[in-house]
């Protein structure tokens, strides 16, 4: 669905009118397009640690225009703040305020990315306080940026450096137009695993990916994006969606599998189809989901059980089959679609929120079981995304939901798909058990 208000206030008379009336002024976001520059200008790398020096050298190999010192009034495409050696909260002042001096020089749709270390691994209270402090300042900064700029953070486990494959993979994702609707988020790199893509435009070349709920909306966008990135796609949906499913499968030159994912044999049927038709299975995207909204006081067993059955119980059952299969042991990837409703809750969605919070719990608990085969499991949690479902929300409610995030607009199905494609790639091999929100930094809840 088109957000006509955002289009109207992005230029000319609409922009001036919104400014005079004090109305929200969302801008058209910079999204990924083949051949597009990674960032809209030079990249300033702030920090005086060895990790900052090594990262700056790595970025030079990407043919970026890298700065180690700011040039006054030069428009910047990104600021990368390296905070990997903090030992006390007072250590934040120098690098953070140095970066702050360049914030007014950010180009439209620019990026700010912090690199810091995980607080959980810090023994000393002062070290942990400093590291946790980065999270608070990052989330606050994301709410201050304008003109489509975003701020996100990469959190490194101890022993992981600033140039490991997944650190660089996460940085490329956050700098690029692929992360247009990801804002105020922190992504932890837990290990040095992963590998850079041979072709940054086709990082999934040679992979076979299954996408459930692929007939429409976000699922169809995921199938298209994985295909664009080089994967062979198996599109899965219920028989009732057969025509739409076939159209998507044909569009992405993949195959269609009509399947009720709640069936006891769903996992084995998915594996069998992928292996028989394509010779392998590398990626499974659990996208299928339903809503049956009702206040809990009015909730009936059918509404409750159907949502739990599709949204989480089916994923658990399919994952059991995947983990037991000899065909899913070569650095496999599982990516699940959760929801911000599972984080913040939502009136009338106790069943849905329980199922989506359950997805997040499943992801965190399953990660160790995949590690032995070099595999990962992660989830994305979309916020307000422009789909056929949200188009049916009453106008006033829809407009409020659109504007209630730092970017003051709804996301697109492709925004969710871009995050999933990154997490499914080899470049994300050191990232597992993570929940990445794709919500424009929704201001409700966590």
What are the residues whose beta carbons fall under 8 Å from the beta carbon of 106, sequence distance 6 or more?
Answer: 75, 76, 79, 112, 145, 147, 149
Pair (108, 231) in one structural domain: no
Q: Is 352 a catalytic residue?
A: yes
Pair (173, 304) in one structural domain: no
174, 352, 384, 422: the active-site residue: 352
E-assigned strands of 265-395? 283-286, 333-337, 376-382
DSSP 8-state assignment for residue 312: I
Q: Taking a C-beta distance cutoff of 8 angstroms, is the pair 371, 339 a contact?
A: no
Pair (22, 128) in one structural domain: no
From the list 188, 289, 228, the residue with the least C-alpha distance to 31 is: 228
**In angstroms, how far is the first alpha carbon of the chain from the final one?**
27
**Residue 86 belongs to a domain:** yes
**Residue 202 belongs to a domain:** no
Pair (178, 212) in one structural domain: no
Pair (253, 172) in one structural domain: no
Pair (125, 7) in one structural domain: no
Report residue 186 as tokens. Answer: 């922190």
Please count the residues of the chain: 446
Pair (227, 335) in one structural domain: yes
From the list 273, 191, 275, the residue with the least C-alpha distance to 236 is: 273
What is the chain's mean pLDDT, rounded? 94
**Residue 308 belongs to a domain:** yes
d(CA 412, CA 275): 32
User: Does residue 18 register a pLDDT over 70?
Assistant: no
Give me the mean pLDDT over the 96-104 stretch. Answer: 96
Domain end position, chosen among 189, 222, 243: 189
Pair (12, 161) in one structural domain: no
Task: Encode 222-253: b = buried (16+ Cβ within 10 Å), e = exposed.
Answer: bbbbbbbbbbbbbbbbbeebeebbbebbeebe
Report residue 409 as tokens. Answer: 């607009």
**Residue 200 belongs to a domain:** no
Q: How confident is the model at residue 446 (pLDDT cuts 50, 70, 90)?
A: very low
DSSP 8-state assignment for residue 330: S
Over residues 343-370, the pLDDT tens digits come to: 999 889 999 999 999 999 999 999 999 9
Q: What share of the chain is helix, strand, coil (3-state, %, to 5)?
A: 45, 15, 40
Report residue 254 as tokens. Answer: 């993949």
User: Does residue 321 register a pLDDT over 90?
Assistant: yes
d(CA 3, CA 271): 39
**Residue 365 belongs to a domain:** yes
Over residues 147-198, the pLDDT tens digits come to: 999 999 999 999 999 999 999 999 999 999 999 999 999 999 999 999 999 9
Report residue 85 as tokens. Answer: 């050696």
**Residue 197 belongs to a domain:** no
Give me the mean pLDDT over the 416-438 stretch. Answer: 98
**Residue 15 belongs to a domain:** yes
From the list 256, 265, 274, 288, the residue with the least C-alpha distance to 328 is: 274
Give me the mean pLDDT over the 359-383 stretch. Answer: 97
Q: Is 129 helix (H, G, I), strand (E, B) or coil?
A: helix
Pair (249, 124) in one structural domain: no
Domain count, the chain: 3
Percentage of residues in the chain having pLDDT higher than 70: 98
Pair (7, 133) in one structural domain: no
Cα torsion 411, 133, 162, 81: sign: positive
pLDDT on residue 395: 72
Q: Taking a C-beta distance cutoff of 8 angstroms, is the pair 127, 86 a contact?
A: yes
Q: Taking a C-beta distance cutoff of 8 angstroms, is the pair 115, 156 a contact?
A: yes
Pair (122, 215) in one structural domain: no
Write out the residue range of the structural domain in which residue 109 sits.
31-189
Over residues 236-265, the pLDDT tens digits come to: 999 999 999 999 999 999 999 999 999 999
pLDDT on residue 404: 85
Give me the mean pLDDT over the 139-153 stretch. Answer: 97
What is the CATH classification number for the domain harbouring 240?
3.40.50.720
Pair (12, 47) in one structural domain: no
**Residue 203 belongs to a domain:** no
């Amino acid at each position: 669905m088109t957000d006509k208000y955002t289009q109207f206030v992005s230029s000319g008379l609409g922009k001036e009118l919104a400014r005079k009336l004090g109305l929200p002024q969302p801008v058209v976001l910079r999204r990924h397009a083949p051949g597009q520059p990674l960032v809209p200008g030079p990249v300033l790398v702030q920090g005086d640690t060895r990790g900052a020096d090594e990262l700056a050298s790595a970025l030079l190999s990407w043919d970026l225009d890298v700065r180690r010192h700011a040039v006054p009034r030069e428009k910047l495409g990104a600021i990368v703040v390296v905070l990997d050696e903090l030992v006390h909260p007072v250590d934040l002042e120098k690098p953070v305020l140095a970066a702050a001096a360049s914030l007014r020089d950010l180009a439209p749709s620019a990026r700010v990315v912090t690199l810091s270390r995980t607080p959980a691994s810090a023994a000393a209270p002062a070290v942990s306080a400093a590291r946790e402090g980065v999270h608070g300042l990052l989330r606050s900064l994301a709410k201050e940026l304008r003109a489509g700029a975003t701020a996100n953070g990469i959190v490194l486990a101890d022993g992981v450096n600033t140039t490991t494959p997944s650190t660089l993979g996460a940085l490329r994702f956050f700098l690029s137009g692929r992360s247009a609707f990801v804002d105020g988020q922190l992504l932890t790199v837990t290990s040095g695993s992963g590998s850079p893509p041979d072709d940054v435009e086709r990082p999934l070349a040679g992979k076979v990916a299954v996408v459930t709920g692929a007939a429409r909306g976000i699922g169809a966008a995921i199938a298209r994006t994985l295909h664009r990135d080089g994967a062979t796609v198996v599109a899965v949906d219920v028989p009732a969606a057969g025509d739409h499913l076939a159209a998507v499968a044909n569009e992405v030159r993949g195959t269609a599998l009509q399947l009720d994912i709640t069936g006891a044999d769903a996992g084995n049927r998915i594996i069998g189809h992928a292996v028989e038709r394509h010779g392998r299975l590398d990626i499974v995207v659990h996208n299928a989901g339903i809503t049956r909204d009702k206040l809990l006081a009015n909730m009936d067993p059918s509404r409750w059980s159907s949502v739990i059955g599709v949204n989480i119980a089916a994923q658990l059952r399919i994952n059991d089959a995947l983990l037991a299969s000899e065909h899913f042991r070569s650095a496999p990837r599982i990516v699940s679609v959760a929801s911000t409703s599972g984080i913040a809750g939502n009136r009338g969605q106790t069943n849905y929120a329980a199922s989506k919070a359950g997805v997040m719990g499943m992801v965190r608990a399953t990660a160790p079981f995949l590690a032995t085969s070099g595999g990962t499991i992660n989830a994305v949690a979309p916020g307000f995304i422009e789909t056929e479902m949200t188009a049916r929300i009453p106008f006033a409610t829809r407009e409020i939901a659109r504007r209630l995030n730092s970017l003051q607009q709804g996301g697109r199905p492709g925004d969710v798909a871009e995050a999933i494609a990154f997490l499914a790639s080899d470049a994300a091999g050191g990232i597992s058990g993570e929940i990445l929100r794709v919500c424009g930094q929704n201001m409700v809840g966590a």
